[in-house]
Structure 1
Amino acid sequence: MDFDVIVLGAGIVGVSSAVQLQDRGRRVALVERRPPGEETSFGNAGLIESSSVVPYGFPRDFGTLLRYARNRSTDLYWDYRSLPHFASWLARFWWESSAERLMAAARDMLPLIQQSVAEHDRLIQRAHLGHLARDSGWMDAYRTPREFSRHALAANELAQTYGLRVAVLDSAALAVREPGLVDCFCGALHWQDPKSIVNPGALTKGYARLFEAGGGMVLTGDATTLEAQAGNWTVQTTSGRISAREVVVALGPWSDTVYASLGYRIPLRAKRGYHMHYSPTRPLLRMPYVDAEQGYVVAPMEGRLRLTTGVEIARRDARSTGIQLERAERAARPAFGLGQRLDSGPWLGLRPCTPDMRPVIGSAPRHPGLWFAFGHNHHGLTLGPVTGRLLAEMMTGMPTFADASPFRPDRFCS
């Protein structure tokens, strides 16, 4: 039970990292408390978002801030009891979201975003998962002409700057493109470069099967049992204690359960979100839709519609509220023809976020053989395979396809 690398966490980032390390000759064990793809990677909107070249920043305009302060919006809900826990993180997030710093984050993230679809395509082909992927892109839909016109101008500028494909559709063109919609939207922006996944959890499990087919081991274990012993790292699993020269912490929103115990203070917080599946009452949507002014996503998922909410600011272990889901459902039901709920209750997921909108990828500064790969904000599914490639190149001493310095852990800790 000795390995070259132990990867802690079997979400999309951990599984992808295990595959990429295995491809470069490393003997890898993947350790998780649950089967692969059943935590954060299970409950997202299914977008491989190669068009989101500018990160989601903290709003700076007074109108949006006032709306959020009232705590009645669909796209954001905050629990007042959790605000002290988030206060310093939100302050840094606001500071990092100035126009200049936001564009710096966009420049740093661009090589990863641009390569995201290609890295997924390689794994999808190898794992024979083409039935889960769609090349139709996604729609950014608007309810008011003013917002539609404003964002259409910005979208065309963004597309020209970054070489993206976007089509501006008025209400008539949208009705032709998507017969299942009603007249709730005056227009939409069709971003054509991204892919969508009809079952994100199944995609992650498929990548894990590819890893196992290559000789990798998926083990059930407790990441918090990680210890350094005689130059190796060891972890307790149900198959016994295993060891390796190197270990990767890819536990998403739970990564702090490991790095904090080793003395690292990284400002990672989990933005919460919900999803629910519905039976469609109209022809199934052809692609995912973002209700841009209400802040939720409706995506076709294997014959069902998945409604995914915006952000809930609450402590990681706080009770599920479902408030955002109820608000989003009221807006989405007439627009998208949501039928009856198909799940016994709302699914609650956690998005691991850093205040500077960049993931943490690289070696820990004080512990040889310890590596970090977490904090992908709203783009964990998008960036899983490309993060795995970057990390594997770093760990094996190969030239990296992108500059990894913006993601180094010691930007937060020394």
Structure 2
Amino acid sequence: MKFDAVVLGAGMVGVSVALHLQQRGLAVALVDRRAPGYETSFGNAGLIQREGVYPYAFPRGFGTLLRYALNRSTDVRYHPSALPRLLPFLYRYWYNSRPDRHAAIARAYSTLIEHCISEHRALIEASGAQALLRTGGWVKVFRTAQKFEAEQRQARRWNAEYGVQFDVLDAARLQHDEPWLGHSLIGGLRYTDSDSVSDPNALVTAYARHFEQLGGRILTGDAATLEPQWRVTTDAGVIEARSAVVAMGPWSDLVTTRLGYRLPLAVKRGYHMHYAAQNGARLNQPVLDAEIGYLITPMARGIRLTTGAELALRDAPPTPAQLDAVEPIARKVFPLGERLDATPWLGRRPCTPDMMPVIGPAPRHAGLWFAFGHAHHGLTLGPVTGRLIAEMVTGAQPVVDPTPFRADRF
């Protein structure tokens, strides 16, 4: 029960880290309390976002802030009881979202984003998961000319700065491509270089299966039992490793805090529900209703409706008010049928106040590595994060400069 590396957390990021380490000839154990892909990686929108060069910023306009403060917005809600603990994080998030700071962050963040498609496709090919992949992009749709024009200006800037490709769809083209969408939509933007998948959990599972085929071990255990240098308790007994990688998403602080690190990690929670499609209706690609703040996408189980962000404590009880608010609106956009899930699914996105993940060595512990804090882009950035960590652990030339993502930047 001795390994070269143990990876804690079996979501998209953790599985990708374990797989990349195993591919490089290390003996790797992957430890989680659940099977791979059954926490945050289970319930996302399935987007691999090549266009996501600018991470999601905190709003700075007074009108938007006032709307959110009233706590009735469809795209963002908050738990008032959580605000005292969240305010320091939110202030730093707001501070880093100033346009000049946000642009500087994007220059670093985009170095990861530019590899998201190629790195996923390499793992999809290796793991035989091609049937899950949907190419051709995804669509952001609009209801007002003002918002549509503003988003086009933004897309042109992204194209000039980072080569983000997009198509502008007028109402007729949108109806041609998605004939079951409602006529209240005046057009859309398709981000053509992005991919999506029909079952994010199945994709993580496929990567994990390939990891095992290469000789990796998946063990059930409590990652919070990690002790230097480096031991973890699992159902198969105590395992030891020369290196440990913390990739536990929103639960990463359960380990890092105990080891003396005070990293500013918070969560944005989100919900999803699956629906049948009425009258043979078909949705061909993911569709984001940009002015309302929800996304519908075709999944293996049905049409998945995902919500925006809920600012709350990680372990607070579910409050799916956003889902209840957007469902009637979504039904007017696409003919959703009956709910297919007994209860809404709740996920937790791990976020840092500068919108960038923590990737790299722990400052004060030899052999300890961090890979968490990917916010909305855990699925998108899992494989490139895995490659970057594996290259640093093995001393290879890293695919991107890891400096902006170091843990001691806070």
Partners of 1:181 and 1:335 within 8 A in 2: yes
Which residue in 2 is equivalent to 1:343?
A: 341
- What are the equivalent positions in structure 2 for 1:175-324 lying under 5 Å apart? 175-228=175-228, 232-281=229-278, 282-302=280-300, 304-324=302-322
Which residue number in structure 2 is paired with residue 385 of structure 1? 383
- Residue from 324, 327, 330 that aligns with 2:328: 330
Give the equivalent residue in structure 2 for 1:29. 29
Q: Could you say what secondary structure the match of 1:155 adopts?
A: helix
Q: Residues 133-144 of structure 1 correspond to what in structure 2 (within 5 A)?
A: 133-144=133-144
Determine helix, strand or coil for the equivalent of 1:378. Answer: helix
Structure 1 vs Structure 2 CA RMSD: 0.9
Give the letter for the 1:185 counterpart.
L
- Residue type matched to 1:384 in 2? G
Letter in 2 for 1:374: F
Question: C-alpha distance in 2, partners of 1:357/1:262?
Answer: 23
SS in 1 for 2:45: coil
Aligned to 2:115, the other structure's residue is in SS state helix
Q: Are 1:367 and 2:351 matched, yes or no?
A: no
Question: How high is the sequence identity, in percent, across the aligned residues?
Answer: 55
CA–CA separation in structure 2 for the residues paired with 1:49 and 1:216: 28
Structure 1 position 121, deviation (Å): 0.3
- Letter in structure 2 aligned against 1:219: L
Deviation at 1:283, TM superposition (A): 2.4
Secondary structure at 2:83 match in 1: helix
Tell me if structure 2 keeps the 8 A contact 1:284–1:303.
no
Is residue 8 from structure 1 mapped to residue 29 from structure 2 by the alignment? Answer: no
The structural deviation recorded for 1:383 is 0.2
- What secondary structure, in the 3-state scheme, does the structure 1 residue paired with 2:258 have? helix
Measured against aligned partners, the alpha-carbon deviations of 1:105-137 in whole angstroms (never above 9, x if no partner) come to 100011110000000000000111000000020
Change beyond 3 A, Cα 1:261–1:303: closer
Q: Is the 8 A contact 2:275 2:302 kept in 1?
A: yes
Distance 2:256 2:160 in 1: 41
Whether the aligned pair in 1 keeps the contact of 2:155 and 2:164 (CA below 8 Å) is: no
Q: Equivalences for 1:39-78 in 2 at 5 Å?
A: 39-78=39-78
The one-letter code of the counterpart of 2:256 is Y
SS at match of 1:207: helix
More deviation in 191-200 or 148-157?
148-157
* C-alpha contact (below 8 Å) 2:110/2:162 kept by paired residues: no
How big is the shift at 1:209?
0.1
Gap regions ≥5 residues in structure 1: none
Deviations 1:334-390 (A, max 9, x none): 101111100000000000000001100111111111110000010000000000001
The residue that corresponds to 1:150 in the other structure is 150
Using the alignment, how far apart are the partners of 1:3 and 1:284 within structure 2?
48
| Alpha-carbon contact 1:227-1:235 (below 8 Å) kept | yes
Deviation track 1:81-128 (CA, whole Å, cap 9, x = no partner) reads 000110100000000001111011100011110000000000000111
Question: Under a length normalisation based on structure 2, what TM-score does the superposition of the two structures give?
Answer: 0.98
Post-superposition shift, 1:303? 5.8
Inter-partner Cα distance in structure 1 for 2:343 and 2:132: 25
1:88 and 2:88 matched:
yes
Aligned-partner Cα distance in 2 for 1:153–1:9: 39
Q: Which amino acid aligns with 1:2?
A: K
Structure 2, gaps ≥5 residues long: none
In the TM superposition, residue 156 of structure 1 has moved relative to its aligned partner by 2.2
CA drift of 1:149 comes to 1.6
Q: How many residues align?
A: 409
| Structure 2 CA distance for partners of 1:303 and 1:3, relative to 1, 3 Å | closer
CA contact (8 A) 1:296 1:310 kept: yes
Listed one character per residue, the Cα deviations across residues 310-338 of structure 1 (whole Å, up to 9, x for unaligned) are 00011111111110111111211110111
Partner residue in 2 for 1:17:
17
Q: Tell whether the 8 Å contact from 1:136 to 1:286 is kept in structure 2 after alignment.
A: no
The question of whether the paired residues in 2 share the 8 Å contact of 1:351 and 1:377 is answered with yes
Q: Secondary structure at the match of 1:262?
A: coil
**2:274 and 2:301 in contact (8 A); partners too:** no
Q: Distance in 1 between matches of 2:164 and 2:90?
A: 31
| Distance of 2:364 and 2:161 partners within structure 1 | 40
Corresponding letter in the other structure for 1:19 = L
SS at match of 1:3: strand
Runs of 4+ in 1 over 2 A off after TM superposition: none
Spell out, residue by residue over 1:11-41, the C-alpha distance to the aligned partner (whole angstroms, 9 max, x if none): 0000000010111111100000000000000
CA distance in 1, matches of 2:319, 2:301: 27
Tell me, yes or no, if the aligned pair for 2:50 and 2:117 is still in contact at 8 Å: yes
Question: Are the equivalent residues in 2 in contact too, given 1:297–1:308 (CA < 8 A)?
Answer: yes
Q: CA deviation at 1:66?
A: 1.1
1:281-300, Cα deviation, whole Å (9 max, x unpaired): 25221100111001111110
